[in-house]
Amino acid sequence: MSTSKIFRDDVLKNKVAFVTGGGSGICRGMTEAMIRHGAKAVITSRSQERLDKAAEEMRKQTGGEILAIAADVRKPEEIINAVEKAIERFGKIDILVNGAAGNFLAPVETLSYRGFRTVIEIDLLGTYNTTKACFPYLKKSRGCVINVSAILHYQSTIYQSHVSAAKAGIDALSRNLAAEWGPHSIRVNSIAPGIIAETEGLAKLLPSAAAGSVTGSIPLQRMGTISDIEQATIFLASDAASFITGQIIVVDGGESLMRVGVLPYPESVIDPTNFSTKKLGVKL
């Protein structure tokens, strides 16, 4: 369901959103939704070429103003530069969405030191770097921060220790910043998506054999959609959530209430030198 059927078209009029990872996937949907409701947007990722393509497509779809700036969230100097360019163009930042993320399947036995560190740097340090760079402008606008988290760490998710640790850190950071920055009228919340259909992440992380039957483990009996995340985004970015901060909004159809694990648990020791989810089979 389109956000326009629920929220006023101008509910974010004159707001400026800064979105990391805004050129693809869930974060692109979040960006498009905010633009549809009157916001201007700045999107960042590492590839200027991919950003430019995404920005042009979104302009055609929404008619909105979008500035694309390549930046690596792991590098403070690059994200600071992107924030400064956003201020030069639009003069302010009202909404920050931290969505840049990296992930892959890996048992800890074969997960390299560098692989673990890279995910922590993109997800957790990237969130910190961007939020800190935007703080002076969020303070001035009395803006809000929306961090994209996950439900992986609510119980345990095998082969996802790296991203679970990163997202748990993001949740903790969100709560602490909400308390610390509340006196500046800055709200800080997280959205924790469950299984979201038709995303690159789902294709990478869930064996195709399991995708069709996974709905049986979700109380609402369906996978989520990017539109479901868009609805939560517009709510948290709008004045409807003006007294909500430090919260993790779980958008998972109830999956985390009954979580048994989407990936198959190995019945015998996995050969770490030849790890493949396809060879594990699927049991739900």
How would DSSP label each residue in 120-185? Answer: IIIIIIHHHHHHHHHHHHHHHHT-EEEEE--STTSS--TT-HHHHHHHHHHHHHHHHHHHHHGGGT
What is residue 49's three-state secondary structure? helix
Residues 155, 252: contact at Cβ < 8 Å? Answer: no
| pLDDT top residue among 202 and 186 | 186
**214 vs 226, which has greater pLDDT?**
226
Q: Under a CB-based contact definition with an 8 Å cutoff, are residues 47 and 125 in contact? A: no
Structure tokens at 120: 């922590």
Alpha helices, DSSP H only, in 206-268? 208-211, 226-237
Residue range 7-280, CATH number: 3.40.50.720
CB 189 within 8 A of CB 232: no
Least confident residue range of 137-141, 160-164, 170-174, 199-203? 199-203
Which residue among 161, 167, 174, 217 is the active-site one? 167
pLDDT at residue 279 in the model = 40
Among 79-88, 162-171, 189-198, 226-235, name the one with the lowest average pLDDT.
Answer: 189-198
* Mean pLDDT lowest among 3-7, 99-103, 188-192: 3-7
Would the pLDDT of 1 be above 80? no
- What lies within 8 Å, CB to CB, of 205 at 6+ separation is 103, 104, 105, 160, 263
What CA–CA distance (Å, rounded) separates 40 from 90? 8
Helix (H) or strand (E) holding 51: helix 48-62
Query: Is 276 marked active-site?
Result: no
Report d(CA 145, CA 138) in Å as an integer.
8
Angstrom distance (rounded) from CA 30 to CA 227 = 8
Number of Cβ within 10 Å of residue 227's Cβ equals: 13
In Å, how far are 45, 94, 131, 150 from 100, measured between CA atoms?
7, 18, 12, 13
Q: Is 40 a catalytic residue?
A: no
- Cβ distance 145 to 188 under 8 Å? yes
pLDDT in tens, 59-83: 999 999 999 999 999 999 999 999 9
Among residues 149, 174, 190, 217, which one is catalytic? Answer: 149
Determine if the pTM surpasses 0.75.
Answer: yes
